[in-house]
Structure 1
Amino acid sequence: MTHTIRTHRPARTTVGALAAAALLTLTACNAGGDDDSKASDDSSASADPSASSSADAAAEPDLDGIPDVVAEVNGEEVTKDEFVPIYEVAFQQATSQAQMGGQAPDEDALKKQTVDELVDTELLSQEADSRGIEVSDDDVDAELETLAKQNQMGSAEELLKAVEKQGMSEDQARSQVETQVMVEQLAADEDGSIDPTEKELRALYAQAKKQQAQSGQKGQKIPPFAQVHDQLEEQARSEQVGKVAESLLKDLRKDADITINL
């Protein structure tokens, strides 16, 4: 059985990721043997900056001209020190994806996306603060353990090591998870329960099977419902949280004082 962790958004950026899936999410387990495991390991190694080719290593983001304060949100600063490590991870991921298509990543667009998402995160953080929502270290630890379980890993430490191999530090991963938990708590406060019903999960499962049948990918059999129950539940929760967060952000941006210096 093989599994791969994907980080859809770096560090504090959350809203776009939550609209699609969990921030640290598993791919479906494959019923393969050692060969499959080796293939997965090779794939992970190729995403590891330390194991990349010399061409990959030469790809560096352009950090010239980035101001000390990249944005201000209702008087709160989003600093260069916050922006740079997040942008560097985003650049690494974009570079890996761009190499498949033979095109270099659009750094201007990537910088704009990064700062916009940092602004969104700051807006949601301010709203959470105003509602008295706080995320403790215990909350983060509990979420990491849950994510480790969903990824068929033995512990949060094992999960963090796997994420680190993909270019994200433990502090960045914990920050990402902290923001995820904060947004989930904010969404629940805004819209009530975000937990899907069993009926909704079975509908998602049926949709997945239908899409697979339509795609004609007969070799990729979807596991039984019970086996992917937790994954479906996380996907449904993430989609609901994403919808609530996006709606909330529309209202928050209307009254916000936002200055982008990038």
Structure 2
Amino acid sequence: MNLRLIWFLKNLRSFDVKKVIVLFVVLFLFAACEKSGEEIANVNGKKITKADFENDVANLPPQYKAMASSPDVKKAIIENLVMTELLLQEAEKQGLFKDPDVKKSLEMQKNEIILNAEAEIQMLKNQKKNAEKTAKKEVAIRELIEGRDFLDVATKEEDLRGQYDSYAESSKARNPGAEIPEYSDVREDIRLATARQKWLEELREKAEITVNESFISEEGSDFEKQLQGIQIQ
């Protein structure tokens, strides 16, 4: 058992509640720091820590982060960290980073990473700023479009059949050997898509909408120009 935890348990009764809570938080933070520094691999005496592993996981695309807890993926990530460390050590050994051309390339790469990070930070700031508006949009789409069957919107059977025939004809033209599903198998999908589109068109027709055409012709928005003008500090 952790020595700090043993000491904490022995002296628990002598503290008031507030001090106990503060002490517990401090001990928790110490434990977290120790765990982050936990060695998970070693390359020629250079430690690779759990924090290094977590940094690599943090840079993974969202769909892959959930997989990082599996032993196979952990092993692959650690192997990548090991090989990267080996390459870094070999580069240092060869004096690679002292070469003028390599130093120039290194500086360019660093600046590109910083630029990308600045752009990402700006994007995240905008996401946070517009969080409520974005959430409302997503809920509106989910509830009004994705969550409806649109049975209250009238569709004509001949229109549905016509769309199917057009789809089948174009599919065969692109790929003569393609298997075309039966109309009965896809009719409901066609009806739903048709009814949804009809409902959206009717919604638009009832609204008063104006579009600033001059904005469309502009080369870039202020936000895009701001991103392009980010300076390396």
State the TM-score, normalized to the length of structure 1. Answer: 0.27
> Which protein has greater RCO, CA pairs closer than 8 Å, 6+ apart?
1
State the TM-score, normalized to the length of structure 2. Answer: 0.30
**Structure with max Cα Rg:** 2
